[in-house]
Structure 1
Amino acid sequence: MTAYPIRALVTGTLAVSVVLCAGATASAAPAVGTAIPALQQQTRTNLTQAMRGEAFANASYTLFAAQAQREGRPAVADLFRKTPAVELDEHFTQEAALSGLVSSNEANLTDAITGEGYESTTMYPTFAQQAKAAGDTAAADLFTEIAKDEAAHQAAYQAALTKLRTGKGAIPTPPAVNPVTVPAGQPKVTSAQTKANLDTAMHGEALAHAKYTLYAQHAQQSGNPALARLFTAVSDVELQEHYSGEAALAGTVGTTSQNLATAITGETYESQTMYPTFAQQAKAAGDTAAATLFQHNATDEAGHAQAFQTTRKGLS
């Protein structure tokens, strides 16, 4: 992962993503590893924000699917279950390819080391101190625990990088994953600062999960399955433990009806505001491929906002 600005929440309206319409493709983005055309800074900034939104939607919808299943709504669970997979495999991946997010294994590890180091030494310790001062003890304990996990991830990635560069040592055994169940419920913290920090942390964990998934794919394709396993395991920890633990405290999951309403709000924002704006700006900057991808995603989001609307109306 990169330094804090890349993993942090972009404040403002929650942006969530949707699956591609049946039969549709978005071929504007080049494949990972190909030469990336020069992009204007505004386009790069917009791609970063879009990827953050796609990653967060991927994580959120996974929890919404589990809640729908607990409520005995398998069709809704299936909708929420399929959507995040496509968001990660299509929208996020295409935007990542266009932005040149994935590089060599060595560069990807260096990026991950930087991010894990920031979180373990600065972000999470600060969040823990603030939560403790506000009386949000459970959040303080969780932030402290995650800081330790991130330090271990940093050490594992550093060992893997040493192995790549010198041939000495070994790529560490992937960490075990202990999934956290997130039932519907209200926030378990009271401080506005703690709530904001949880939101920032959740967006960072969701983005790390998405990034590490692509880093793992690149490692596998480049003939390094041990590194791929390490990236995959840490990615799972970021999503199933860190993000989920924070989501439980933040009250992210509601009833299925409430979760659908959240999804509709996000899909509508992306389809009517975010992606059209990004497309216009990319076109004006001469970044044609980005403009095409953003416009495709806007059309896609509109269709899925309607699908969620229809699903919510059909709830008994």
Structure 2
Amino acid sequence: MFRHSMRTLLVSLCALTAASQAATAVVLAVPADQARTTSTPARALRTQTLSDLAAAMKGEAYANASYSLFAVQADGRTWSSGGKLVINKAGQAVGALFRSTAQTELNEHLREAAALAGTVGTNAANLRQSINGESYEHQVMYRGFAEQARKDGDLKAADLFTEIAADEGRHRNAYRTALTVLTTGRGAIPAPPMAKTVPVPAGLPKVKAARTKANLDTAMHGEALANAKYLLYAAHARQTGNAALARLFEGTAGVELHEHFAGEAVLAGLVRTTKTNLRTAITGERGEVSTVYPGFAKRATAVGDSAAARYFRNTAADEATHAAAFQQALNQLR
């Protein structure tokens, strides 16, 4: 019975993964004309629609980052007492499902929302947006989070927040230099930073205060979004012939995801057992299907933002498919 259920799981998930990978084969293009920004379509949308698109981007970026970590946990490679590597094939199938879904969230859902919202502008505009974001995180957000964590006795979190605040200051300075090079034609764009990849094993939260947990959640959403936006900015830089700027954005994106987000995920206890991770994913996807995206679509329809409303409806349908795939995987693992 157990062997039969494993075969069923593998066959089912392979089919689901193949379908999902086919769906993500087409990556939506972001306008690449450096001579103009994408502010015109952004202004055409109502303020609430833009706000909902921003929320959608943050949620999709967070799902991409989380599912990528869940995939590593699901792979389930362990060493036997005899010193042999044991590969959990059922777990690898679930890992493949998490990875393909993560790519859909990033390469389809987030990119389409970014195109509708006019997120990507000229290289100079993208740098200015990045400088503003990094300045806020360096000067205000992470310093405030560190102070609160220290007061609450969560010293590991305080140290991490302080370290990330310093990193964001360096990112801001690199972007400032790049902007000067871009606007004056003098100097060289800084070399990209190198990410120190932080492993994220399954485990419980390493912090105790509710405030610290909430701040970690805010920080992880911010880092996931920064990673996604910098990848979009990097793609635009390459399309406009600025490979050095693209490398700077890509390197910084890697730090935000593999170092900052991962370090925060360890303290937050984001990754648990594969079954728990599947339940978490199912809950999130169903919430988007039943509440989040229908609400966004209703508001966009009411003010005549039909393209955005269509995007919200289509994304909700995709998330229903994701929820069903995750539920099927969970059922087979029981």
Q: Give the corresponding residue for 1:103.
A: 121
1:181-232 deviations in Å (ceiling 9; x for gaps): 0011000001111111111111100000010010000000010000000000
CA contact (8 A) 1:65 1:81 kept: yes
Code of the residue aligned with 2:41 in structure 1: it is: I
1:275·1:298 contact (CA, 8 Å) conserved in 2? yes
Q: Structure 1 residue 196 and structure 2 residue 202: aligned?
A: no
CA shift, 1:32, in A, is: 2.8
Q: Which residue of 2 aligns with 1:15?
A: none
Q: TM-score under structure 2 normalisation?
A: 0.85
Corresponding position: 1:135 with 2:135? no
CA drift of 1:19 comes to: 11
**Letter of the structure 2 residue corresponding to residue 216 of structure 1:** A
CA apart distance, 1:85: 1.5
Q: What is the identity, as a one-letter code, of the residue corresponding to 1:262?
A: T
Q: Deviations over 1:218-271 (max 9, x none)?
A: 000010000000000000100000000000000000100000000000110111
Partner of 1:32: 31
Instruction: Determine the structure 2 residue equivalent to 1:42.
Output: 48
Pairing partner for 2:103 from 85, 94, 115: 85
AA aligned to 2:263 is G
Deviation at 1:76, TM superposition (A): 0.5
CA distance, structure 1, for counterparts of residue 19 and residue 131 of structure 2: 33
Task: Give the superposition deviation at 1:70.
Answer: 2.8
**C-alpha distance after superposition, 1:263-298 (max 9, x if no partner):** 000110111111111111111111110111111111
Higher relative contact order (CA 8 A, sep 6+): 1
Matched residue, 2:267: 249
CA 1:74–1:30: 2 relative to 1, 3 Å: closer
Alignment gaps of 5+ in structure 1: 1-17
Q: Distance in 2 between matches of 1:234 and 1:22?
A: 27
SS of equivalent to 1:314: helix
Moved more, 244-253 or 129-138: 129-138
Does the CA contact (< 8 Å) of 2:20 and 2:104 recur in 1?
no
Structure 2: any 5+ residue segments left out of the alignment?
Answer: 1-16, 33-37, 78-87
Deviation at 1:22, TM superposition (A): 7.7
Residue number among 227, 233, 245 corresponding to 1:209 in the alignment: 227
Quick one: distance in 2 between partners of 1:248 and 1:151?
Answer: 23
1:181 and 2:199 equivalent? yes
- What is the rounded CA distance, in whole Å, between the counterparts of 1:23 and 1:81 in structure 2? 13
- What is the distance in 2 between the residues matched to 1:19 and 1:118? 41
Mapped to 2, the partners of 1:19 and 1:300 lie a distance apart of 15
- CA deviations on 1:95-137 (whole Å, 9 max, x unpaired) are 0000000000000000000111111111111111111111111
Query: Deviations along 1:57-103, whole A, 9 cap, x unmatched?
Result: 01100100010013531101111111111211110000000000000
Report the RMSD for the aligned CA atoms in angstroms.
2.0
- The structure with the larger Rg is 2
From the superposition, tell whether residues 238 and 22 of structure 1 become closer, same or farther in structure 2 (CA, over 3 Å): closer
Normalised TM-score (structure 1): 0.90
What is the one-letter code of the residue matched to 2:318? D
Counterparts of 1:261-300 in structure 2, within 5 Å, are 261-300=279-318
Once the two structures are TM-superposed, the CA of residue 168 in structure 1 deviates from its matched residue by 1.6
Note if contact 1:19-1:84 (Cα within 8 Å) is conserved in structure 2: no
Percent identity between the aligned chains? Answer: 57
- Aligned residue pairs: how many? 297
User: Where does residue 145 of structure 1 map in the other structure?
Assistant: 163
Amino acid at match of 2:251: A
CA distance in structure 2 between the aligned counterparts of 1:64 and 1:222, rounded to whole angstroms: 35
Name the structure 1 match of 2:4.
Answer: none
Runs of 4+ in 1 over 3 A off after TM superposition: 18-25
* AA at the equivalent of 2:72: A
